Amino acid sequence: MPLSEIGRQAPPGEPGAAPRATCRVPVVVEAPQHSGLTGPLDYLGEQAWPPGTLVRVPLGKRVVTGVVWSAPAGGDDEVAFDLGRLKPLTEVLTGLPPLPAAWRQLVAFAATYYQRSLGEMALMVLPPELRQLDAEQWARRLKRLDKAVAGSSAELAALAAHAGDETVAAGAVGPEALPTLTAQQADALTELATPGPKPYLLWGSTGSGKTEVYLRQAQRTLDAGRQVLMMVPEINLTPQLEARVARRFAGRQIVSLHSGLTPAQRLRNWLMAHYGHADIVLGTRLSVFTPLPRLGLIVVDEEHDPSYKQQDGARYSARDLAVYRAHLEKVPVILGSATPSLESWFNALPPAEGGTGRYVRLAMPARVGDGIMPTVRVLDQSKAPKGVAGREPPPLARELLEAITQRVERGEQSLVLLNRRGYAPVLHCSDCGWKSGCPHCSAWRVFHKVDRSLRCHHCGFTERVPRACPDCGNTDIAPVGRGTERLEEQLAEVLPGARVGRIDADVTRHKGALEAQLASVHAGEVDVLVGTQMVAKGHDFRRITLVAAVNPDAALFASDFRAAERQFALLLQAAGRAGRDAGVAGHSEMWVQTWHPTHALYQALRRYDYADFARQQLKEREMAGLPPYASLAMLRAEGKTQEAAQAFLVEAVQAVQHLADELGGITLYPAVPTPIQRVANVERAQLMIESRQRVALQRLLGAAQPLWLALAPQHRRSGLIRWAVDVDPLSI
């Protein structure tokens, strides 16, 4: 059916109106968890619309979009139900195919597991444009979308060129010659040729050719007439993957789904997937909810990346939902990483080695083309010159500067990693001790020299740098610490003649800026690249032969139990940017400046021994009773005061302590302030819930929700603003 045939339900009495509405229609609408609307609402319709149908319904004084969720019970139940109390449906979007049963099951599971209302989860994952237009507006909009969804390759190409769309038109790119497979790639593909019911963990070193395995398996899936969902953790990795997929699959419809699209682009690409016209969908975490009628393969690249976990609202893990969706729809799922999350690694270990054996591990430790990983050199900062009094030491050790200089002279490139943007993390007055704190947050405002501003990276509050100390009037206020902006400036001073560039969130915030910066690096127009973690993963820099980590020690002793895991992954991924061209691999290096050169993390990195690092971390986690040996949830509260936030948490614990005692194996920890206690003048507190069994934790949370919902109103009167549950939190 053409998209423009969408219609609306005619009210009774109009010419051609449907029979009088006499049927109960359950509909889920977008409502937050604290509203108490956890399930479908009943409306009146003239027929039993199929589950998954999109409708417009009255909700209070508004008309909102909803989804028909289940068929009416019918029979005697209909007779006993008072239909006269129900409001009629306003409109039915009959031109759209109903959202499939597998999609509804995925949404229902996510809502239950992550403790959100069904309607909130269902409507949140739909394109914003789909939720905002009524049927009449849809009729006009969809007439313009018919050609994009069902049109020819030429029409798609013209439309994409005119609109600057992210859709890659079929036939727009010529065929690509297939590279010769390595023995490890061939073995992995042999295992994948007859996929079983278990997820696959593709553990391959950086440069081992994991993407080629994805593409070969995708080809098999497309040849079988099925669709492919390929997920990446961050938007900046989407364009390069899209370009490679487009080269490989000339003649196929490829669409992207990520937050960088306009609402119209996102809706069009989503419709192409929903109608089955898109063969390959490339997306970030929200794409896991894309309805795909012919789904045959799910790929989750860089599966360890924390970006797959939503950090506000419905705090879902797209990686975990991808595994569940593959199980639900009985399709293979490939989780790929050089440094798998410890949860995935644990699931891929056989029981004899202390794991669960739930995943199949496919190992590819060698680089393509007999390339070797860079030699890791650990520099002991305690032996480096300290600098003169009142001045910071040089940004890089003398030996490291000499190594970079040699690269510049040979026409090679270096990457210097510092995972802190801005010029300096704080300004400081040496006379009275004033520091550039944020008045709205318990955090420092970062000094950005390029626009002479002090900027809070938590609430966004920005001011011009004061001419003198606000407290004592001293004009000598100085930056303390170092960010990427300052490091770029300092390297330009100590490396005269070298072309120094920078890639971080500040210089790539405008559309097209990241692509332009990356293009200059690939073209050899940059000798030394300074960057944050956004350049440490996924990029194929062929000229880089040296990578240096400037200040990596902060994660070694952090309170967050996942800090070491994330740091090891970041450093190994960064090392993988060097020596990717076989011609320069032999002398590529990874330098680490540290005050703790003997730390076990750096020793494992020197050997590129992820298995040993994981073994150490799992042993520590088991002793501490932390994931994957336990399941966690965080109950978080925000209030006008810290006392208000903690008071709710204390009473919330008291309300469910008896349930925890009955279930057994559950520990409710005391309420404490969050690591950053105040953000945007809102005080934040949290408490941890730990359980030896995931099922017991889910039972507790499910039973606790109505109790906590009942508690919240009285606490709001005393300063509580909001509360939420975070299941499987990334940090504590």
553-596 confidence digits (pLDDT tens): 888 888 889 999 999 999 999 998 888 775 565 789 999 999 99
Domain count within the chain: 5
In a domain, 533, yes or no: yes
What is the distance, to the nearest Å, from the Cα of residue 686 to the centroid of all Cα atoms in its chain?
22
pLDDT bin (cut points 50, 70, 90) of residue 81 is low
Digit-coded pLDDT (tens) for 661-689 = 999 999 999 999 999 999 999 999 999 99
In a domain, 139, yes or no: no
Residues 173 and 305 in one domain: yes
Residues 486 and 466 in one domain: no
- How many distinct helices (H) and strands (E) make up the chain? 20, 28
Residue 667: the pLDDT is 96
pLDDT bin (cut points 50, 70, 90) of residue 529 is very high
Q: For residue 13, is pLDDT > 70?
A: no
Q: For residue 101, is pLDDT > 60?
A: yes
What CATH number does the domain containing 555 carry? 3.40.50.300
In a domain, 141, yes or no: no
Tell whether the torsion through CA atoms of 700, 701, 703 and 709 is positive or negative.
positive
Which of 240-244, 344-348, 654-658 comes out lowest in average pLDDT?
Answer: 240-244
Q: For residue 154, is pLDDT > 60?
A: no
Cα–Cα dist 178/216, whole Å: 9
Residues 402 and 431 in one domain: no
Q: Average of pLDDT values for 171-182?
A: 70
Digit-coded pLDDT (tens) for 291-313 = 999 999 999 999 999 999 998 88
Cα–Cα dist 235/515, whole Å: 12
Residues 179 and 216 in one domain: yes
Digit-coded pLDDT (tens) for 407-436 = 999 999 999 999 899 999 999 999 999 999
Tell me which of 622, 646, 680 is where a domain ends: 622
Cα–Cα dist 244/418, whole Å: 29
**Any residues with CB less than 8 A from the CB of 187 and at least 6 apart, and which?**
362
In a domain, 732, yes or no: no
Residues 464 and 416 in one domain: no
Q: Average of pLDDT values for 189-209?
A: 94
Of 131, 11, 121, 116, nearest to 64 (Cα)? 131
Residues 472 and 612 in one domain: no
Q: For residue 137, is pLDDT > 70?
A: yes
Residues 654 and 536 in one domain: no
266 or 19: which leads in pLDDT? 266
Neighbours of 53 (CB within 10 A): 22
Residues 289 and 273 in one domain: yes
SS3 content of the chain, % helix, strand, coil (to 5): 40, 20, 40
Residues 35 and 59 in one domain: yes
Find the domain containing 200 and state its range: 151-368
Q: Average of pLDDT values for 486-511?
A: 91
Residues 672 and 602 in one domain: no
In a domain, 217, yes or no: yes
Q: For residue 164, is pLDDT > 50?
A: no
113's tokens: 């597991």
Cα–Cα dist 6/425, whole Å: 54
In a domain, 146, yes or no: no
71 or 290: which leads in pLDDT? 290
Residues 119 and 176 in one domain: no
Residue 94: the pLDDT is 78
Residues 379 and 418 in one domain: yes
147's tokens: 């050609």
What is the distance, to the nearest Å, from the Cα of residue 458 to the centroid of all Cα atoms in its chain?
18
What CATH number does the domain containing 693 carry? 3.30.70.360
Q: Which H or E element spans position 578?
A: none
Tell me which of 587, 622, 657 is where a domain ends: 622
In a domain, 682, yes or no: yes
Q: What is the chain's mean pLDDT, rounded?
A: 87
- What sections of 275-348 are H helices per DSSP? 318-329, 342-348
Range 655-663, long-range pairs (CB < 8 A, 24+ positions): 655/704, 655/707, 655/708, 655/711, 656/700, 656/703, 656/704, 656/707, 656/708, 659/700, 659/703, 659/704, 660/689, 660/700, 663/691, 663/696, 663/699, 663/700
Digit-coded pLDDT (tens) for 251-266 = 899 999 998 889 989 9
In a domain, 140, yes or no: no
Tell me which of 578, 593, 622 is where a domain ends: 622
In the β-sheet with 528-531, what is the strand arrangement from edge to edge? 375-380, 589-594, 544-549, 413-417, 528-531, 500-503
> What percent of the chain lies above the pLDDT cut of 70?
88
